[in-house]
Structures are given as C-alpha cells and as structure tokens.
Chain A
Amino acid sequence: MVNYATAAIDKTSVMRGLVSTKRVPLGSEVYNRLLETLYDEAAALDERRFDDWVAYLEQDLIYTAPLRLTRNGPNKDRDVVRTMKHFDENYGSILMRTGRLAKSAWAEDPPSRTRRFVTNVRVAESETAGEYEVVSYLYVERSRMDNPENETISAERRDIWRLVDGAYKLARREIIVDQSTLGMSNFAIFL
C-alpha cells in the first residue's frame, strides 16, 4: 500500500477543479448542451429510470469515489485518498448494480425518494477532441421510509463527457465526497 500517512505529495491527490485551461464559457452552445445533459441525467436517476441512465454511460467508463481524510499541517490539502474508495466501478459493474436494483435489492426496495441538485458547473475542453472536462457540485437529499430527516451528501464530481453521435456520454466520473465519515447509511444510490 502507498503509505498515505507519509507519502510524498502526489499532485493527483491535491484537490483541484478543472485541469484544462481551455474553458468552455457559460452560455455557449456546448456548455448549455452539457448542462442540459447533467440535468437530464439527474432526472433519470431521481426517477429511477436506470436503463435511461446507463444509456449515458460509455463502455470504457471509470466511475470512482475516493475517500476523504481529515489531514492537517503540511498535508492539509492532501485529503483525497485514492488507495481506498466508496465506489470503484466500470461499465460491467454498473450493469451488475442496476441489474440488482431491478430485482431483490432491499436497500432500495421500497425505494428512496431522491433529489439531486447539480450546480457550479464548469466546463473545459480536454486534450482529446470531442471530450470535455465537466466539474459540478452535487447535493443529494434522500428520503428513506418514514424517516422525517433526510440523509444528505455533498460532493464535487469531476467528469469527462464525450460527444458520441451528437449526444454526450459519460466516460469518467470521480466523486469527491466531502465527509470523511459518511452520514449516509449506504451508497445504494448513484452519485
């Protein structure tokens, strides 16, 4: 294991937003289309239309959620730990998960009622033509059973969306959750 206590500073573990400097401005056609896609994706998940959601996913998808750790001093910004994850998914494992949700997945049967709020969307052109870095903030309210208190989660999502046959498809998503100890009972929902 990489010693997360003492490892030299790894740039990939320093929290930051967009990497590319080729910004796609707010209000541009590409930005608007991607924003619309993020809203549509959130609606598909909130409405539990998993087939529709999977249709947004590329087959080379990498979908992960690294751990956050509370760090201090010289390590204070090295709080994203990728040696361990809450999600470590590929296209096949996502199909396994959505397939399970269609059958006896008691964690979501009866289902949660969810609202995904997607904001602070920033877009830039990636090095590969037709691919865009899309960074967004995500806030999820999850209502479970008769519990009057929702479980919530806030996160930043760092995505690569790829233009395929005139539609944007998700090729990469890294979910940077804000809690080191999650207040959500499980991740039986997608983020």
Chain B
Amino acid sequence: MLHNAGLTLSDGTTLDDLINRDMNEVSLRVMNDKELYELEMERVFARTWLLLGHESEIPKAGDYVMRDMAEDNVIVSRDRSGEIHVMLNVCPHRGMKVCTAEAGNAHAHRCIYHGWAFRADGSFIGAPIEKEQMHGSKRSKDELGLKKARVHLYGGLIFATWNKDLSFEDYLGDAKFYLDQLFCRTDNGLEMLGPPQRFVLPCNWKIPGEQSGSDGFHTLTLHRSLMEGGIMGGTAESIYDTAPGMYGVDLSVPQGHTLRCLEAAQTFKMFADVSFEGKSTEERLNLLPPPGITKDLIPQLFKNLSEDQVKQLANIPPQVGGMFPNILIAFIFAPRMDGGASGALSLHTYVPKGPDKVEFVNFIFAEKDAPEDVKRDMLQNAIWSTGTSGTIEQDDADTWPQIMRNSRGHMSKTITLKYQALHGHERPEGWVGGGDLYPGFTKDDTQWAWWMAYYNMMADA
C-alpha cells in the first residue's frame, strides 16, 4: 500500500482512503465535501497558475476585465506602460469591490464606498480629503495597494497565480511542446472573439475537471448525436464497430495536463478520403490544415514552431484536452454542412463557486490573422458545439449535475469512480514530444494522471 499522510479530514478519512492508488479508484465523496473543498482552495487554487483571459480583450492602456481566481474576484488590467496586472478586487479599506463592472477602461479604480483609489497596476493613489489622511497613519501608501497576483502571458493567454515560487515553465512542463502548437503558432497569435459565455452548474468543479483530463471514451455514448449527425466517421448503428475518434495518441504530464492527439482522417467523415500517403509536412498541411488554420497561415507555422512541432500538427494534431486544474481545451475540427470554415477554438475554465457549484466560462478564439469570414464561421461553430447552447456540451452540462446529485447519498458517496481501463505508457515509434504517451484506443490513463496531479497537490501540506 502506497502511503501518504499529508491530508486527513476531521472524521479521520485520509487522502489515500479517498483516492486509492493501488486500485485506481476515487471515492465519489470527493465531489461533495466542504472540508476537502476548503483544502482545495488553499492547496490547489491558491498554489497553481489559473487562466483568466487573453490580452486581446484588453488592448489599450487602462482596459480591464473582471475575472475570478476560484472564489477570489480579481481585476485584470493593462497599465499605461502596456503591462498586464492581476489584483484582488477587494478594497483593503473595508473589503468592498473596487471595480463593479465586468469590462471597461479606467486609469484609476475608485471604490464607491469611501473613495479609496488605485491605479491600473493596483498601487494605492489615496483616499479623498488628502489633508485629513483618511488612509490613516499606521501604514504607508505603499502598503495599501490591491493585493497582486503574479502574471504570466503565454500565447497571449493571461495566467495568474498567488504562488510566489512556481515558475510557469515548471507548471507547463513537457506539455509546452504540444500547447505551443495550439497557442503560439502564428505571428500575431490568437484573438478572443468576444467576452466569455458564463453559466453556473450545480456540481463540484472536479466533475468537469476530471473529464477535461482527456476523457475520450464518453464521446461514443454521451455525444452519440455527433455520430447521428453524420459528422464523425461512422453512423449511429456502427459507432461501436468503427469507434470514430477513439484512436489516436493520448498523453499526460505529471503536472496533470493532458491532450488527445487525433488524426482528422481517422475521425471525421468529411476527411476520410484525404490520402496523406507519401506527402510532405507542407503538402499535408495544405491538404488538411489543422483546426483554425487557413492555407494563408501555413507559412507562419513553420516560422513560429519547430520542425517537429509542425510535423505533429500536420499529422496528428492535439485537439482536445486540459490543463490542470480547471481548463478544458477544444481546438477541434467542426465540419459545417454549408461549406464554411471548419474549426472551433474554445478554452473553458471551470471556476469553483462552492463545493456544489461551478461556473463554466467559455472563451472562444480565432487566429488574429485569419480573414473576417473565417472568424465569423469559427465563432458560430464554437457556439453551435460548445458552451451555453453547444450541442456537444449541452449533454455534458446535464450529466455533471446528476453525478453531483448522487454524491449526496450516504451510501452513494461510498461508491468509487473506476479508472481501471489502463493502457500504460508506450512511446510510439518516431514520436518526438515528451510526457507519458498512450497510443491506440483512448483509455483512462490521462484521467488517472489528472487525479495523481490532484493527489500530489492535496497531499502537499
């Protein structure tokens, strides 16, 4: 029996009771436990990098958006020098929200309660009636700024953390080789096509979280309508024989990030006749550009990525996956019946709002240099497939609350979730990128890797 005594709940339950590493099982109780939730806020969400948005949302000095780092409300703003800052939206005077709008432009944020004011970089300007020194005499102005998080931009994506030590490079680990192929591949990068869709689901954040650990298997059943709609290679009658989209190379890194790399020709009906036999990387890209890439953008791939990265993007691109703890990546082909641009680029964050609530935030992208009509089609594709009304994710959003409902039962919560269909790490011949690789039929390996990342963070007091 593996042993780690880093976490014991008040009733004596240990982390090893909840996550059985010998059996690859997780107690359903983890989805509905207030004590565990409080520890997650401290050990996971206050310690790791969290995705808040994209710099294209706040292009000008003073632009800001309001976002959440778990239950902490923050202002994401650009200062006069162009630098992006993330700070708690909590007035150090009386705890009021300093900023009350979701988006806007302000070089100073003045609290409506008593008027304490802060610059776009979070520093304290002063309180009204300067001569009366209403900020007091015990603390200097330097101490009265908004609490700042560390910020890192990756492919224009805005990440922030409260952790003083964790470098972004260590957070990404070997996932960088693959994620660069999605986020850092064109000269001007990604553009967010509008503010995120936001909606709240009655379930624990880990229910969508663990699915984002690259659960490929549920596609066949929960997303059966994809087969019925004729998009995937196969029909509703033949899905279990042909299992479209189930074969590829899944991968994980110890940080808990996971991806599913899929060959389009093996997955989607419309690409089934595309023959790549004997074709060069460039010819392959032109025959079938990866989701979101137009033919005009192909030369930029060679400029921004390594030869090995472009080769993978051409042959077997990463399409879905997640970044631990709460990011889903869906950079997918989205075949349209009307011949329009095929591709949808979405990122979600599943922001915890209590043990039994999660906010689903759906960010939708296109390459900034893509033509306007392509962006228009891709926005529509993403809305049709993902988020609020998306015909794929409607079914996820209805399933997760039912798992949550079961986690309340005295007996039900003793049931364990099974991650026992395991392939084991196996490096395909000629594969260049790092991480643990699971070629073939998609199994539970990546989701278990997600739980192991969770285990390690929760065990580390």
A contact residues vs B (CB 8 Å cutoff): 1, 3-6, 65, 67, 69-73, 75, 81, 83-88, 92-93, 96-97, 99-100, 103-108, 144-147, 180-188
Chain A residues, CB < 8 A from B391: 96-97, 100, 105
Smallest CB–CB gap between A61 and chain B, Å?
14
* A-contacting 9-mer, from B129-137, B192-200, B310-318, B434-442: B192-200
Query: Does A183 contact B199, Cβ atoms closer than 8 Å?
Result: yes
Cβ 8 A contact of B57, one of A5, A70, A180:
A5
Q: Does B22 contact A (CB under 8 A)?
A: no
Smallest CB–CB gap between B194 and chain A, Å?
3
A93 to B393: give the CA distance in the assembly, Å.
16
Task: Considering the complex, give the chain B residue whose CB is closest to the CB of A81.
Answer: B195
Report if A83-B194 is in contact (Cβ < 8 Å); known contacts: A69-B103, A96-B391, A100-B391: yes
B72-117 residues with Cβ-Cβ distance < 8 A to A are 100-105
A72 to B104: give the CA distance in the assembly, Å.
8
Cβ 8 A contact of A186, one of B58, B379, B384, B394:
B394
Query: Does A104 contact B383, Cβ atoms closer than 8 Å?
Result: no
Query: Does B229 contact A188, Cβ atoms closer than 8 Å?
Result: no
Query: Does B194 contact A71, Cβ atoms closer than 8 Å?
Result: no
Query: Does A185 contact B384, Cβ atoms closer than 8 Å?
Result: no
Chain A residues, CB < 8 A from B198: 180-182
Task: Considering the complex, give the chain B residue whose CB is closest to the CB of A66.
Answer: B194
Cβ 8 A contact of B197, one of A3, A84, A97, A108:
A84
Cβ 8 A contact of B60, one of A3, A93, A105, A183:
A3
Query: Does A75 contact B104, Cβ atoms closer than 8 Å?
Result: yes
Query: Does A186 contact B194, Cβ atoms closer than 8 Å?
Result: no
A145 to B401: give the CA distance in the assembly, Å.
10
Cβ 8 A contact of B397, one of A1, A99, A107, A145:
A107
B contact residues vs A (CB 8 Å cutoff): 56-60, 63-65, 100-105, 191-202, 222, 224-225, 228-229, 236, 337-338, 359, 364, 379-380, 383-384, 387-389, 391, 393-395, 397-399, 401-402, 405
Chain A residues, CB < 8 A from B222: 106
A181 to B68: give the CA distance in the assembly, Å.
13
Report if A70-B101 is in contact (Cβ < 8 Å); known contacts: A96-B229, A181-B200: yes
Q: Which 4 A-B pairs have the closest CB atoms?
A: A84-B194, A83-B194, A107-B394, A182-B199
Chain A residues, CB < 8 A from B58: 5
19 CB-based A-B contacts, threshold 8 Å: A5-B60, A69-B195, A70-B100, A70-B101, A73-B101, A75-B101, A84-B195, A88-B383, A103-B225, A104-B224, A105-B395, A107-B394, A147-B401, A182-B197, A182-B198, A183-B200, A186-B388, A188-B389, A188-B394
Smallest CB–CB gap between A184 and chain B, Å?
7
Chain A residues, CB < 8 A from B388: 86-87, 182, 186-187
Chain B residues, CB < 8 A from A93: 380, 384
**In the complex, which of the residues A6, A84, A108, A146 has the most CB atoms of chain B within 10 Å of its own CB atom?**
A84
Query: Does A84 contact B364, Cβ atoms closer than 8 Å?
Result: yes
Report if A4-B194 is in contact (Cβ < 8 Å); known contacts: A100-B228, A187-B389, A188-B389: yes
Smallest CB–CB gap between B4 and chain A, Å?
36
Query: Does A185 contact B398, Cβ atoms closer than 8 Å?
Result: yes
Report if A67-B395 is in contact (Cβ < 8 Å); known contacts: A5-B57, A92-B338, A145-B402: no
A183 to B225: give the CA distance in the assembly, Å.
25
Task: Considering the complex, give the chain A residue whose CB is closest to the CB of B387.
Answer: A86
Report if A185-B195 is in contact (Cβ < 8 Å); known contacts: A70-B102, A145-B402: no
A84 to B388: give the CA distance in the assembly, Å.
11
Cβ 8 A contact of A71, one of B101, B196, B228:
B101
Chain B residues, CB < 8 A from A69: 101-103, 195
Smallest CB–CB gap between B446 and chain A, Å?
23
Query: Does B193 contact A84, Cβ atoms closer than 8 Å?
Result: yes
Report if A186-B193 is in contact (Cβ < 8 Å); known contacts: A3-B60, A5-B57, A88-B380: no
Query: Does B389 contact A5, Cβ atoms closer than 8 Å?
Result: no
Chain A residues, CB < 8 A from B65: 5
Smallest CB–CB gap between B153 and chain A, Å?
17
Query: Does A107 contact B395, Cβ atoms closer than 8 Å?
Result: yes
A144 to B389: give the CA distance in the assembly, Å.
16
Query: Does A87 contact B104, Cβ atoms closer than 8 Å?
Result: no
**In the complex, which of the residues A65, A99, A107 has the most CB atoms of chain B within 10 Å of its own CB atom?**
A107
Smallest CB–CB gap between A138 and chain B, Å?
16
Report if A6-B199 is in contact (Cβ < 8 Å); known contacts: A93-B384, A96-B391, A187-B394: no
